[in-house]
Each structure stands twice: as structure tokens, then as C-alpha cells.
Chain A
Amino acid sequence: MIYGSRMSGLLYLSPYLLGLAVFTLFPFVASLLLSFSDYRLQDPVSAAQIIGFENYQAMLHDRTFGKSLLVTLVYVFLTVPLKLAFALFIAFVLNFRLRGIGAFRTAYYLPSILGGSVAIAVVWRYVFAGDGLLNQAFVLMGAAPINWLGEPAYAMGSIVLLRLWQFGSAMVIFLAGLQGIPTDLYEAARLDGASAWQVFRRITLPLLTPVIFFNFIMQVIQAFQEFNGPYVITGGGPLKSTYLLPLMIYEEAFKYFEVGYASALSWALFVLVALFTALAFRSSKYWVFYAQERGEGDKS
């Protein structure tokens, strides 16, 4: 009987397990193996030679990789705090009990559904193009047009903005976190004479740290993986100023057919993300506050 139910359980899980095996586990293992090979996309796999750590050593001398790594780190360091702050701000505003607040919440969430898509990136490119919407507006107001996508600093700004625009999912999680803070605490703080800023700083923010932590981890991982924005809008340029690592991995594999090297790059990115995540978890005990012990209910 137990055996039977276990089998039927596995059967229900099988579509997911199959997908996991084919699309996650297999590429995961394959890319690790390929990263130690000189496999090129146009050759048969059987022609690939094991070359040990050569790909990883090559990375150390590859100035493009150095540049790409730097650009990626700048991108992550810019987008993650900005996006978290922006999402928290919007969540805070949308947490007020106002008439029609549900409609506002939906409206603010919409960009997140669309924001990551190629279509929006295309729209974005149109907005920031030399004769794009933004410059047309500038000209109308009598200002000189700006070469948004041609100047390295502005180009990075454009793809950072595109990412900020997708604040919805982080915002929804912040909103849930804000709504989980008991109103009694705010009332107690009011009686204690705390100002709105003091309440936010001393009550809301500390109680929100688990949610901030979760959002931080998710945003770091997502930012390291950003591809669509720079690929469609800037193509990594100008002067590789928006050449994020995922873009470099893509080009190494599918433009230069250096799958072995691209795999090694992927693993370098994976280690980087893992490192940042581990650091975040390590630091969490100093700044993340959990109101309850694990497994403890709200018994009194």
C-alpha cells in the first residue's frame, strides 16, 4: 500500500522531475564537464579534448572577462540597492489604506510581468535611441539631445533603469511583509511619541529585515543573470560598458562557438553568485531579525 502510494506520488512528480533532469541537472553537469574541455559548437562532442583548467587559466588573462566582470559587479551594486529601495518605497506608499488601492497595486505590479521581456527591452531601446522618445521630449523642451546608448555611463544608466522598472515582485513581497507587522506596534510607538520617520526606522525596518534579506538574495541572483536588457538595448556596448557576464557567456558560446570557454565562464558566474549569497547569509545574523524562533508559534 505504502509502495503503491509512493509510486503514484512519484508519478505525479514525474513531469517536474523530468523537466528538472533534462533542463537543469543535465546542463548543470554537462557544462561543468565541458568547462574542462576545448569543445567548440561546430565540432562533434567526440572531437572535444579534455584540457584541464586551461579555460579557467585563460579567463585570468582575458581582458574582456576582466572588463565584463567589472561591469557586472557595477551593475549588481547599482541595481540591487536601488531596486530594493525603490520597491520598498512603493510598497510603503501602497500599504496605506486608500480608496481603490487594489487597482494601484495591480497597476504598479504590471511592469514586472512585462518588464523582463524582450518586447519591453525593444520599447526601451526606442525610448533611449538617438532619435527616441526621450530625446524628442528633450528637444521639445529646448534641451540638447543626449546620446543615451552611445555614451558608456548613460548606456549603463539605461539598462539599470530598465531593471529598476521591474520592481514589482520585490514590491509585492515587501507589501506582504509590511502588512505582517501588527498595527498594535505602530500604536504603541505612537503612544511612545515616535515620529513617522522614527517608527519607520526603529520599528518597520527592523521587523522587515527577513523580507529585505530574502529580496536581497533574490535580486542579487537575478541581477547577476541579467541578459535581455543589455542584449537587446545596447548589445553590450558601447566599449563593452554594458557587457554583462551572461552576455559574454552567450557570445562566447553562440557567436564564437567556444562552448568550453563559455561553460567555464558560466561556472565562474555560478561561483560568484554562490559567494555573494553565502556572504549575505553569513552577514544575516548581524542584521536580520526574526520575531520568532524557528518553529515557534505565536503562543502566549
Chain B
Amino acid sequence: MTRSSVQLAGVSKQFGPTRVLGGVDLRIEPGEFIVFVGPSGCGKSTLLRLIAGLEEPTAGRIHISGRDVTHTHPSKRGVAMVFQSYALYPHMSVAENMAFGLKIQKSPKDEIDARVRRAAGILQLEALLDRKPRALSGGQRQRVAIGRAIVREPDVFLFDEPLSNLDASLRGQMRVEIARLHAQLGTTMIYVTHDQVEAMTLASRIVVLNGGRIEQTGTPLELYHRPANLFVAGFLGSPGMNFLPAQLMSHHSQAVTVGVRPEHVALCTSEDGLPAEVALVERLGGEALAHLRIGGHAVVAKLAGDIALAARDTVRLQIDARHCHFFDGQGNAMTAPA
């Protein structure tokens, strides 16, 4: 398997009158684990399908390893895709599912066997090779779907919400497996999800999409700590960032939005603290989420799990200015005001 770059230049997609993607530019470096994340309908799956060749772009070019593949057949792009539904051929055994692509390409039988065995070894599927998909659990089916992709030894792996059909614990497990796989194979991977935990934990770089446009690209921590706009700030992080309207006195009373993450809202005893009323306390064990009201605005604070707090208590809050994000009237991040 080689490590390949993927480059998108002005890629647009329109379905009839509906514009799904508008002029997307993106360069993915060889060996990167890129996660496309965004709300439903943001165009992330369409972007993946364009790279796979399952859709043709309305405009723009797609390059893989420097080769223009915009109009190349999906099977000739050096990509393998793992579908949300797994898309396993139900009438074929696990081994046949994994071997299908190689058989179609008339690879020698020995090579097919060797590749299937190797992939099965990586994913611990050896004992399941003769089973039909209907005799597998959801997690096993997902592993077979990944195995089928590995067997093809692609330059780029494409994952379309691969874990969304699994229950929470299995999802966590598979997330670790996919991360391990990336470390082991080193192949370029592009992964679509709407789950920000998957995005944060798996990605070497996250691409946040909204309304068919890229909102921001960066490492998970860059996006978390330096969101480019209100959308990214609000989308990443759970619970989401608190937003409060404010005026910047140093900037001629400019109206701005101040953003602060729940973990940066602290209680204080000082009289200078912002007065707030506790509406509800959610206790999660290790931490507690306090839903507070400051004036007419809701704010969530992430506090110690055993904090003595109850609904209708009045508290004082301290927000460290160093952790505040400021957004202008258009919602774009401002450099921290002095």
C-alpha cells in the first residue's frame, strides 16, 4: 500500500437545482487521517462519494497521488470504501466478500488467498471466513467490510459513517481498531462522521463542513482551541461552547459574541464574580454539568463531580479571559482583544 495525497480543487456538486457542495478546495497529505465532520446535509458524504467516483462533480478537479481522476472509473482510482450499511454481498461468505474485487480483476488465486488471509489476520476474522454475513454480529460485519477494503490494498481508504449502525460500546471499540489500523497501515484515510468524538479521537486533521462549504480545517486541538467561527466553536465540544452577547468597550462598544467552553466556567467566592442562578445539575460521576442562568442567558459549567450545588442556588462565576473566544457580527473569530 502506498501513501497517497488527495487534492480537491474547486469541487462543486449540484443535484438538479440543489447545490450540495460549492467550490471545495482541500489538500490531503499522504498518510493523513482526515475526518469530514458536519451536521446532516452539510455535503460530507457527497464529498466522499465524489472522491470515490460514485458521483461526478459538477465542477472542479480531483487528484489522487497527483493523477487527475475526476472522470476515472471508481475501481481505477486506487480507493476502497467502507459503507455505512457495510454493503456486504449477502450471498457470499466472508472470504468471498473479501476476495470479490480481486477475483473480478483476475488476480492469481494464490495472491487472493494470501491477501484475504493477511487482512483476516489483521482484523481477527480468521474463524469467520466461511460464514455468511447474516451469521455475523454488527461489529463483525463492520470488520469484514474493512477487511474487504484492506484486501484491495488501496492508496486511499474511504469510510462513510462506518460506526453509526453500532451500539455505543462497540463503537468505542471499533474506533480504537480503526485508529490502530491507520497506525499499522499508514495509508491515507478519509472518514466521514457526524460524531464529533470520532472526529476528535481519530483525525490527524478535521475538516468541518457546513452548507456545502468548508468552515475550517485543522488538527482536532486547533479546531477546539482556535475555532475560526461561531459554527465551528459551537459544533465541536460536548457540551457545546457557551455564547453570550457582549460589547467590547475597548472597541467603541462593538457588539460581539463571547464564547467560553463549559470547562472554563468556574465558581468563585469573590463578590466580583458574575451572579448566576442554578437551573439544573446533571451529575455524570466524575464531573457535574451545572445549567446556569446569567441574566436571561443559559450557560453550562463543567464542574467537579461531587460539587455541592442544587437547583435554585445562587452562585458567582469566574471566567478566565484567556479562555474566552470573541466573534464579530459575522460570526468570525476575532484575535483576542487587549
Residues of chain A touching chain B, judged by Cβ–Cβ distance below 8 Å, are: 182, 184-185, 187-194, 198, 202-203, 206-207, 289, 291-293, 296, 299-300
Contact call B91/A190, Cβ cutoff below 8 A: no
Q: Note all chain B residues with C-beta closer than 8 A to A194.
A: 75, 100, 104
28 A-B pairs whose Cβ atoms sit less than 8 Å apart in the complex: A182-B87, A184-B83, A184-B85, A184-B87, A187-B74, A188-B83, A188-B87, A188-B148, A189-B100, A191-B52, A191-B54, A191-B101, A192-B75, A192-B101, A193-B75, A193-B104, A194-B75, A194-B100, A198-B104, A203-B89, A207-B91, A289-B90, A291-B90, A292-B134, A299-B138, A300-B137, A300-B141, A300-B166
Q: Note all chain B residues with C-beta closer than 8 A to A203.
A: 89
Q: Which of A185, A188, A193, A293 is close to B134, meaning CB atoms less than 8 Å apart? A: A293
Smallest Cβ-Cβ distance to A192: which chain B residue: B101
Contact call B104/A191, Cβ cutoff below 8 A: no
With the chains together, A202 CA to B53 CA distance in Å? 21
Contact call B134/A192, Cβ cutoff below 8 A: no
With the chains together, A296 CA to B75 CA distance in Å? 33
With the chains together, A291 CA to B91 CA distance in Å? 6
Smallest Cβ-Cβ distance to B81: which chain A residue: A191
Distance to closest chain A CB from B143 (angstroms): 12
Q: Tell whether B247 is near chain A: CB-to-CB under 8 Å.
A: no
The 6 closest A-B pairs by CB, nearest first: A193-B75, A192-B101, A184-B87, A300-B138, A291-B90, A188-B87
Q: A188-B81, A190-B75, A191-B80 are contacts. A296–B166 as well, Cβ < 8 Å?
A: no
Contact call B75/A191, Cβ cutoff below 8 A: yes
Distance to closest chain A CB from B86 (angstroms): 7
Q: Note all chain B residues with C-beta closer than 8 A to A192.
A: 75, 100-101, 104, 152
Q: Tell whether B260 is near chain A: CB-to-CB under 8 Å.
A: no
Distance to closest chain A CB from B251 (angstroms): 52
Contact call B91/A206, Cβ cutoff below 8 A: yes
Contact call B91/A289, Cβ cutoff below 8 A: yes
Q: Note all chain B residues with C-beta closer than 8 A to A289.
A: 90-91
Q: Note all chain B residues with C-beta closer than 8 A to A184.
A: 83, 85, 87
Smallest Cβ-Cβ distance to A194: which chain B residue: B104
Q: Note all chain A residues with C-beta closer than 8 A to B137.
A: 300
Within B270-299, the residues touching A (CB, 8 Å) are: none
Within B144-196, the residues touching A (CB, 8 Å) are: 148, 152, 165-166
Q: Which of A190, A198, A299 is close to B54, meaning CB atoms less than 8 Å apart? A: A190
Q: Note all chain A residues with C-beta closer than 8 A to B141.
A: 300
Smallest Cβ-Cβ distance to A193: which chain B residue: B75
Distance to closest chain A CB from B338 (angstroms): 54
Contact call A300/B90, Cβ cutoff below 8 A: no
Q: Note all chain A residues with C-beta closer than 8 A to B105.
A: 193
Distance to closest chain A CB from B50 (angstroms): 13
Distance to closest chain A CB from B306 (angstroms): 39
**0/1 string, B65-87, CB within 8 A of A gives 1:** 00000000111100111010111
Q: Note all chain B residues with C-beta closer than 8 A to A206.
A: 91
Distance to closest chain A CB from B121 (angstroms): 21
With the chains together, A191 CA to B104 CA distance in Å? 11
With the chains together, A291 CA to B132 CA distance in Å? 9
With the chains together, A207 CA to B100 CA distance in Å? 16
Q: Note all chain B residues with C-beta closer than 8 A to A292.
A: 90, 134
Q: Note all chain B residues with C-beta closer than 8 A to A189.
A: 89, 100
Smallest Cβ-Cβ distance to B82: which chain A residue: A188
Q: Which of B53, B85, B134, B138 is close to A182, meaning CB atoms less than 8 Å apart? A: B85
Distance to closest chain A CB from B73 (angstroms): 8
With the chains together, A80 CA to B215 CA distance in Å? 60
Contact call B165/A300, Cβ cutoff below 8 A: yes
Interface hub of B73, B81, B86, B89 (most chain A Cβ within 10 A): B89
Smallest Cβ-Cβ distance to A195: which chain B residue: B104
Contact call B134/A291, Cβ cutoff below 8 A: yes
Q: Note all chain A residues with C-beta closer than 8 A to B86.
A: 300
Distance to closest chain B CB from A202 (angstroms): 8
Q: Note all chain A residues with C-beta closer than 8 A to B81.
A: 187-188, 191
With the chains together, A182 CA to B90 CA distance in Å? 11
With the chains together, A31 CA to B91 CA distance in Å? 45
With the chains together, A189 CA to B91 CA distance in Å? 13
Distance to closest chain B CB from A131 (angstroms): 53
With the chains together, A190 CA to B89 CA distance in Å? 13
Q: Note all chain A residues with C-beta closer than 8 A to B79.
A: 191
With the chains together, A183 CA to B77 CA distance in Å? 20
Q: Please name 19 further chain A to chain B contacts, defined as beta carbons within 8 Å, in addition to the given A193-B104, A194-B100, A300-B86, sorted by A numbering.
A: A182-B85, A184-B83, A184-B87, A187-B74, A187-B87, A188-B83, A189-B89, A190-B73, A190-B74, A191-B52, A191-B74, A191-B79, A191-B81, A192-B104, A193-B75, A291-B91, A293-B134, A300-B137, A300-B165
